[in-house]
Amino acid sequence: MDKSTSGLINGMVGVVIFSASLPATRLAVAGFDPVFLTAARAVIAGILGLGLLVAFRERRPERGDILSLLIVALGVVVGFPLLTALALQHVTAAHSIVFIGLLPLATAIFGMLRAGEYPHPVFWLFSGLGSALVVGFALSQGITVSPLGDLLMLAAVLVCGLGYAEGARLSRRLGGWQVISWALVLSLPLMLGIAVFDVPPSLSQVPESAWAGLAYVSLFSMLIGFIFWYRGLAQGGIAAVGQLQLLQPFMGLLLAALLLGEAVNVAMLVVTTGVVLCVFGARRFAVRPQPASPRPT
């Protein structure tokens, strides 16, 4: 199996895992404060990540990698979880999931800026069209209903795209699970302090569904999903594999309807279908063709 195919498979597994993140977060914020939830999920995943690094006797990252790992931590360990948890206090999981359709474009842009990937110009047409469909849907559904929630989701998409691209760039040298594990370990002291300071006064009153949401986002969204996702991005290319995220809204909408009983209207399905179709066009032009080598004379 070549790296491109392996990258797509790993990336798809990551997308499937991440598709349940927002519905699970929605369940969790019903019983936990967003700040505590962000810290707790990072602490749980960080302890597991530290265990993996110790068990496999991974060498410490070089000094030059620390800044990149801090960027990863800021984007996917702190920024995205906190911003989405805050947003889900104002919008439904189904509404917020549609914004995830912007992640491929954000990831590709940061992949160009941080990893030096320059897709074919037609790629940006398809990727931009998919993002435009998402934004158009948000506007048509009444973004003024909860401007704060939508702005928080947009901010979450930006920091997450940066964290994805930076982590993928670093994974080419350190490995996917090593990158997320080191980022979690670097965040562990701060997140542990926040979790202890902001712990709910009575954990016994937290509903079981909130505990289930916390367990999922800690184990799968914060650690296991990234093992596949970063490996996929490193193998198949940030722009190409990143377009698989266009499938995430569709999966997430179904989960929101099945698990949370949230309404999924026809407009959501139509827009999501259009966004999914854009992935095929974008992937085809994700890699700029190289000029042919001159034939020897």
Q: What is residue 65's predicted lDDT score, i.e. its pLDDT?
A: 95
Tokens of 65: 């990698």
User: What is the per-residue pLDDT across 71-106, written as a single tens digit (0 to 9) for each?
Assistant: 999 999 999 999 999 998 888 776 777 777 788 889
Q: What is residue 106's predicted lDDT score, i.e. its pLDDT?
A: 92
Q: Would you say residue 211 has pLDDT above 50?
A: yes
pLDDT classification of 49: cutoffs 50, 70, 90: very high
Residue burial 32-70, b: 16+ Cβ < 10 Å; e: rest: bebebbbbbbbbbbbebbeebbeeeeeeebeeebeebbe
Residue 84 lies in a domain: yes
Q: Would you say residue 133 has pLDDT above 90?
A: no
Structural domain range at position 237: 3-284
Please tell me the total number of residues recorded for the chain in this structure: 297
Which of 155, 130, 58, 195 is CA-nearest to residue 163?
155
Residue 22 lies in a domain: yes
Across residues 34-44, what is the average pLDDT?
A: 96
Structure-derived torsion over alpha carbons of residues 61, 79, 45, 247, reported in degrees to the nearest 10: -100
Poorest-confidence range of 130-134, 155-159, 172-176?
A: 130-134
Across residues 134-145, what is the average pLDDT?
A: 65
Residue burial 116-139, b: 16+ Cβ < 10 Å; e: rest: ebebbeebbebbebbbbbbbebbe
Q: What is residue 142's predicted lDDT score, i.e. its pLDDT?
A: 58
Residue 289 lies in a domain: no
Residue 294 lies in a domain: no
Across residues 147-171, what is the average pLDDT?
A: 92
pLDDT classification of 2: cutoffs 50, 70, 90: confident
Average pLDDT along the chain: 87
More confident residue, 262 or 230: 230
State the total domains in the chain. Answer: 1
Distances in Å between the alpha carbon of 276 and those of 73, 111, 117, 144? Answer: 29, 21, 22, 26
Q: What is residue 278's predicted lDDT score, i.e. its pLDDT?
A: 86
User: What is the per-residue pLDDT across 255-273, written as a single tens digit (0 to 9) for each?
Assistant: 777 877 877 778 777 887 8
Residue 296 lies in a domain: no
pLDDT classification of 145: cutoffs 50, 70, 90: low
Q: What is residue 294's predicted lDDT score, i.e. its pLDDT?
A: 46
